[in-house]
Structure 1
Amino acid sequence: MTAEDAPTALHRLRQDNAERVLGCLRERGELSRAEVAERSGLSRTTLSAILGDLLRRGVVVETERAPSNRRGRPTSGLVLNPATGQYLGLELGRNRLRLVLADAAHRVRARADLPYGAARSAADRLALAERAVREAAAGHGISLDSLAGIGVGSTGPGELVLAPAGGLAEHAPRGRELVADRLARAFGAPVGVDNNTRLTALAEATWGAATGAADLLYAHFSHGVGGGLIIGGQLVRGTGGVAAELGHLPVAEDGPDCWCGGRGCLERYASVPALLRATGHRRWSVLRAAAERPGPEREAIRAAGTRAGAALAALCTAVNPGRVLLGGELADLGEPFAEPLRTSFAERGMRSLRGVGFGTATTAPWGGALGGLALALRESPLLARYPLPGPGDPGPSVPAATGS
């Protein structure tokens, strides 16, 4: 390295350190200085210099945190300046859409939960979503001019986007890219689109039952079976965007054909439609009530849980998460489904998997929208908008924080 290169290298190192700090605050919201130090791995001296610069420039602001006990004094926390932008999490589900608007400090400013109604096509549903976002923002005095990022959760694996009412999801060669392009044009903000169950895993690791977990598997048992996988703190998508699609793990060699092209998929045994077929019921509410007492319904649920536990054991053997969360209508059945699942998992899995903790997701029914919000916050190009100053460059300032 030459003497001329040294200032540039030091500047890049400082940018990298600042991005580590901002990344912690984007992902976790309010943190103390000690928590930032622990998560970023920076020394006290380096962190003090980085925070001092970010505070001076207004990218980060201090807050007052309540003491851990009544007798203690309030302490200061750190958050991204709420005025640096608004973020949108949007879930385009099977039958309804949900949205969450929040600022950079993770303060939720508005929510909306709407059925699609007569909006049956993908285009109609996107138009409804655009109107819902504008109405929610207007109703809470939020300017969408400051929208800095959008995260969208859609139904189905891979290229399956926006399932129309009463039918299979639409196949589109560039389905998610088209959704992202349309919303980006409508709101002038970067858009990320992913599977809604995968984003629920992100929501659970950010605000839910697995807050702060670095390695997590979320399994969602509903009308379909899906999942989300976080390894090393990062959401795993896979090359084709179908990572952790639990519903299409084969669990029976001689099982029925599946619409995905496979055979004997888990979704054919451990989903709402599968259990309704197995028990002859037409309504889930009837089956759920019958699950509380011994009978054929209870046995069908037990069989589904056993299949699910075997599938989860196989996947966990490969990726070894520290925690597994269950969600969806089958998880809502409680122990009639969860107990045989855990038993089957223990019987089929390696001994090293006995330390895996099981729990129930807590962000439902907002998991997809909150996961979209977490995605937008994590991928926010904040440093691109507020670069650290070089030698002799004071850099731009940002507006002071305002109340919600």
Structure 2
Amino acid sequence: MANDAVAGNATRVAQRGPGDGDDPVRAVLAAYTHDLITAVDETLATFLTAEVDSLAEIDISMGRFAATAREAVLVGGKRIRSTFAYWGWRGAVGGTEALPPVLPALAALELLHTFALVHDDVMDASTTRRGRPTAHVALAEQHIAAGHRGDPGRFGEAVAVLIGDLCMVWADRLLAQATVPSARLLEVRRCYDQMRVETVAGQYLDVLGENDPASWSVDRALRVARYKTASYTVQRPLLFGACLAGVPVDDALVSAYTRYGLAVGEAFQLRDDLLGVYGDPADTGKPAGDDLRTGKPTTLLMLARELSTPAQLRAMDRAGDGPVDRLAELVVETGAVARVERMIAERVSDALAALDAAPVDRTARTALTGLATAATNRRA
């Protein structure tokens, strides 16, 4: 059974230790997630096949549109949200509960994630994602290849928005297939809805920051990280898993998950800020330095400006119109990169402290300990 396989991998990692293998971080993440990812992907593939076939009956072009949406869901991705939701559930129920009844709910989070990614790429005018053209770029290329009239870019963006919308609806439909008591599913839905609201709030603040950088600060940048990333990447998925297990909102486990999830989620976004500037595009799947080119007020950039000397600040302002490599060097010179690394380490420590006192299943504790490090020390 998938539940046993996932738990078994966690135990083997605990016995082997985090230092084995060529890349221990990736090894830990893979060990904790491989069997779960397989189960989630199979659930998604089965669900999406039926959905695509249904839409193809409307019109042949709808079949192609739905197939593009399916590809956006199934190609790439670490399934981080499903993973944290699984361990949130597993930490509450222990090793005795069967996984299949909750698998649709776990997989639904990946549809929600695709909705957010596709819309985010349109808003950020991103051209690559996971080493491939983003949805709106690929759709614009299809428009040109087909010889359609009109603006290919506008077409690509419009259809990408629809793909995101469709993934949101699909997430709702798949969530409804979880076979848990109806009263519990209602609580799960409340948690899910709060996750979506907070994601929209974080995304709006992200857009606002790019258009009003003069009013931004480190605190506001961290607020974006909290709501755009921490909430729907780690914290809410963990609480979602606890809801699937029937844990009441006033339980000590919910408090521990809340603290752990916020800390790891913020650290996850802080690592993203660093990877967006200094990551290897071969690993991240997107160009390095885009945040610096656009002046996006990330925590990293806000800290660089806050910590810089007057001379460094003038140099950063001058470098903003030049090669991004020089601006990246200046950010390091301010001490901002070192400060962000410390912030990540502090948050991981806080997350592990939250686990220490949590009434969580032992295997789940092992997994969440490993995932806190793997999710925040990754290369992509």
TM-score of the superposed pair, with normalisation by structure 1: 0.28
Query: Which of the two has greater helix per residue?
Result: 2
**Max radius of gyration: which structure?**
1
TM-score of the superposed pair, with normalisation by structure 2: 0.30
